[in-house]
A and B are shown apart, each in its own frame.
Chain A
Amino acid sequence: MWSILLNSNTQWVLLSTAILGIAAGTIGSLAYWKRQSLMSDALAHAALPGVIIAFLLFKVKHLFVLITGAAISAVIGAFFIQGIRSSTRIKEDTAMGMILSIFYGFGIMLLTIANRTSGNQSGLNNFILGQSASMVQSDVWTMSILAILVVSIVVIGFKEWKIYLFDRQFASGLGLPLKGMDVVYTILLVTTIVVGIQAVGVILIAALLIIPAVSARYWTHSFQAMVIISALFGGASGTIGTLISAIGNGWPTGPFIVVLAASFFIISLIFGKEKGILVQYWQMKRHKKQEIIQSIPTSVLKKEVQ
């Protein structure tokens, strides 16, 4: 086990999945308040055909090429969802469900074709459930730089993002370019998804965006703290999940990352200081006790009067 940990490649991969988790936790908090948690899942699934098409076209497995394909495909998926919603009677959730499954199905079909036709393609399967062990130095760099860029953009414009999410109408009155921010937000979301798909996989990357954000809700009443806590949960899930996968030698990374994120969620749900189950139960009990104590003298008094 220690030999794996001391391996410099493993250390780099661990660092990059930590940064990825931080980026996912950060963007996930924005998506949560934009009510677009499910959208990230649809975009992630929609990214698969792009990965395979990019591979079939350029015959290389360079991460940057593949995730560019993934990004284009995810954005096309987003346009379809938008188009279906605005021009038909179909509601957004249904549109997302349709695009998610159609794009994913199409991607698996292409993957089968790619596996049959070209030789050196074994790595492509890793984009489904994630395989951080397959990452090479250049992948680590691509992933880390993009993820750091995503986090920086959120941090720099933090107060603008806050009002953008809380009150669009007022933000518009202040002169914030809402349309531009919509575009930037979508770029950030898509970037986070596509840089994560090699490590976490298209099926489960959305979980890394959604779960840390909802877990963070149980610990704070401040948006800033929520983003930070969510980033920490995301980073920890990414790192520990990758570690387990590395020790297991060839185990897929995505499922472990998600199971870890889910454990953090359950801990938050039970022990969270803001509306966690235990705290609520305890507060309720204490409140009841006080009410009973306060009501005793008055009821005694009433009886005496009667």
Chain B
Amino acid sequence: MNEVVLEVKNLTAAYQKNTVLRDVNFQVEAGSLTGIVGPNGAGKSTLIKTMLALHPVLSGEVHFFGSTYKKVKKRIGYVPQRGSVDWDFPTIALDVVMMGLYGQIGWLRRPTKTHQRMAFEALDKMGMADYANRQISQLSGGQQQRVFLARALVQNADIYFMDEPLAGVDAATERAIMKILDELKAAGKTVMVVHHDLQTVADYFDHVLFLNRTVIKHGKTNDVYTEDNIATTYGGSIRLIGGRIGNVVHPVKQ
């Protein structure tokens, strides 16, 4: 077994009165590519935000590389949901990517030509070189997602958290993003991705974390990605399409 880079112990988090996450426990090994799956409102985004101190912890502990988040912040990259920012903000794609370098540039200092080149290379890697000077409001959803990913790439972190990077993007963008995720994995980086499309989980991820308010099951995709676990997580019945795990039909409740 590889080195454990992320350890979550008895984590509990809440919004006002509602407890969203209860007693979450899991460990993630270095170099793994994990898909976090679960129904709407299962607490997937909250889990990431809580681990990254963007949401208060009620109880429990989170350890990165055997240390606290604060001490290893620089080794952690985060790709928020695309909808979390205002894309009307007056700036260009290259500038957004450059934000990933701010920690490296140093506070209150100006970016140099080298930083600009690094940002441009990251955009190029995402197939966005032609759009470097494009106003971000004029980019399509998929292009905006690529810009976000390029920004995470320049951070050169050791562990990445991505909140639905594949939501609402076209097939070409999905392929481009998955290629990058595989490359990150090959480079020994650890990646955790909130994912919605159950059809592609087995193809994309080597580990799966089933989440519904707490960890339902976590492990190697081959071992845990079963109909039973999906049914337990989603609390509904599932249909099989062509022998593969397909759409989930869940009863309307709550």
Write 11 A-B pairs (CB below 8 A) sorted by A numbering: A33-B86, A157-B108, A159-B110, A160-B102, A166-B91, A167-B99, A169-B78, A173-B78, A175-B74, A175-B103, A221-B92
How near does chain B come to A213, taking the closest CB pair, in angstroms?
A: 11
Q: Is A174 an interface residue (CB 8 A)?
A: yes
B228 to chain A, nearest CB (A): 35
Cβ contacts under 8 Å, B92 to chain A: 221-222
Cβ-defined contact, B84 with A167, below 8 A: yes
Tell me the A131-166 residues at the B interface (CB within 8 Å): 156-157, 159-160, 162-163, 165-166
Residue ID in chain B nearest A216 by CB atoms: B90
Q: Could you tell me the distance between the alpha carbons of A165 and B77 in the complex, rounded to whole angstroms?
A: 19
Complex interface: chain B residues within 8 A of A175 (CB): 73-74, 103
B107 at the A interface (CB under 8 A) = yes
- B interface residue numbers (CB < 8 A to A): 49, 52-54, 73-74, 76-78, 80, 84-86, 89-92, 96, 99, 102-103, 105, 107-108, 110-111, 135, 151
Does A217 interact with chain B (Cβ within 8 Å)?
A: yes
- Selected contact of B108 from candidates A156, A163, A169, CB within 8 Å: A156
Q: Does A226 contact B (CB under 8 A)?
A: yes
Please, which residue of chain A has its CB at the minimum distance from the CB of B53? A172
Q: A175-B73, A220-B90, A221-B135 are in contact. Are A167 and B111 (CB under 8 A)?
A: no
Q: Chain B: which residue is nearest A225 at the CB level?
A: B90
Given contacts A172-B54, A226-B90, contact A159 B111 (CB under 8 A): yes
With CB as the reference atom, state the residue of chain B lying closest to A173. B78
Q: Contact at A223–B80, with CB atoms within 8 Å? A: no
Contact A173/B52 with A159-B102, A166-B85, A167-B99 known, Cβ cut-off 8 Å: yes
Contact with B along A27-65 (1 / 0, CB 8 A): 000000100000000000000000000000000000000
Q: Compute how far the CA of A221 lies from the CA of B94 in the bound complex, rounded to whole angstroms.
A: 13
Hey, which bits of chain A sit against chain B, CB under 8 A?
Answer: 33, 156-157, 159-160, 162-163, 165-167, 169-170, 172-175, 217, 220-223, 225-226
Contact of A173 among B73, B84, B108, B111 (CB under 8 A): B73
Selected from A163, A167, A170, A222, the residue in CB contact (under 8 A) with B90 is A222
Query: Min CB distance, B221 to chain A, in Å?
Result: 28
Enumerate chain A residues within 8 angstroms of B151, measured Cβ to Cβ.
Answer: 170
CA A156 to CA B106, docked complex, whole Å: 13
What's the minimum C-beta distance from A227 to chain B, rounded to whole angstroms? Answer: 10
Nearest B residue to A156 via CB reads B108
Q: Which 10 residue pairs spanning A and B have beta carbons closest together?
A: A173-B78, A221-B135, A167-B85, A223-B90, A169-B80, A166-B89, A174-B103, A163-B99, A221-B90, A175-B73
**Within the complex, which residue of A33, A170, A222 is in contact with B80, where a contact is CB–CB below 8 Å?**
A170
Q: Known: A33-B89, A156-B108, A220-B90. Is A163-B102 also a contact (CB below 8 A)?
A: yes
Given A156-B108, A167-B84, A172-B53, A223:B91 Cβ within 8 A:
yes
- State the CA gap A162–B136 with chains docked (Å): 14
- Cross-chain contact B108 with A170 (CB below 8 angstroms): no
Could you tell me if A223 and B89 are in contact, using CB atoms closer than 8 angstroms?
Answer: yes
Q: A167-B99, A174-B99, A175-B103 are in contact. List 18 more A-B contacts (CB 8 A).
A: A33-B89, A156-B108, A157-B107, A159-B105, A160-B102, A160-B107, A163-B102, A166-B96, A167-B84, A169-B54, A170-B80, A172-B53, A174-B73, A220-B90, A221-B91, A221-B135, A222-B90, A222-B92
- Is the pair A165, B80 in contact by a Cβ cutoff of 8 Å? no
Nearest CB in chain B to that of A227: its residue: B90
Considering the chains assembled together, what is the distance between the CA atoms of A226 and B52 in angstroms? 32
